[in-house]
């Protein structure tokens, strides 16, 4: 028996360097992993690794995969990575400004049918975002202003 022989124990999955084979004995995570609150390496899931300590940090809202706290690489369904590297809402309403004019509102892109969309914080009337619907109008489906329909009741004597 050779007493000088050293036996190595493999690190736990996701662990790049470790002091032992247990999941909490990891010293550095693989590039696609980060430390959770229990100091165990877990695969990135809407997280990225903090550059100094490999701890899991959350991606920005609607981001499925990110490289840091401000840059999204892949977005949730119904969202796309826009030119600012954040997630913009994909087209859900068709927009045609008339006379063949089409315009993509800021942060939007044409959908697969080459139609354009608009998404307003409160309401939309005639493809323009408005803070409230005008008198005689109310918010309908998809935050779109629709004309009110007034019911009248007929009385017979």
Q: Does residue 6 surpass a pLDDT of 90?
A: no
Residue 87 host element (H or E): strand 87-89
Q: What rounded mean pLDDT belongs to the chain?
A: 76
Say how far apart CA 110 and CA 116 lie, in whole Å. 5
Per-residue CA distances from 85 to 39, 60, 69, 154 (Å): 30, 10, 11, 58
pLDDT of residue 92: 44
Question: What proportion of the chain, given as a percentage, has pLDDT over 70?
Answer: 68
Residue 83: pLDDT over 80: no
At 90-138, the pLDDT tens digits run 654 434 444 444 445 545 555 544 444 556 777 777 766 778 888 989 9
Distance CA(82)–CA(109), nearest Å, equals 8
Q: How far is CA 12 from the centre of its chain?
A: 30
Q: What is the pTM of this model?
A: 0.52
Q: Which of 75, 38, 72 is nearest to 55 (CA)?
A: 38
């Amino acid at each position: 028996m050779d007493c000088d022989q050293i036996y190595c124990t493999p690190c736990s999955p996701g662990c790049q360097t470790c002091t032992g084979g247990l999941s909490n004995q990891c010293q550095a995570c693989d590039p696609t992993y980060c430390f959770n609150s229990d100091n165990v390496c877990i695969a990135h899931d809407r997280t990225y690794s903090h550059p100094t300590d490999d701890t899991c940090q959350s991606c920005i809202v609607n981001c499925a995969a990110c490289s840091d706290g401000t840059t999204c690489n892949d977005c949730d369904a119904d969202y796309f990575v826009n030119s600012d590297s954040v997630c913009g809402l994909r087209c859900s309403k068709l927009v045609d400004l008339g006379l063949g004019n089409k315009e993509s509102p800021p942060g939007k892109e044409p959908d697969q049918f080459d139609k354009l969309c608009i998404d307003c914080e409160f309401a939309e009337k005639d493809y323009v975002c408005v803070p409230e619907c005008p008198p005689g109008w109310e918010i309908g489906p998809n935050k779109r202003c629709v004309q009110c329909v007034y019911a009248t009741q007929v009385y017979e004597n």
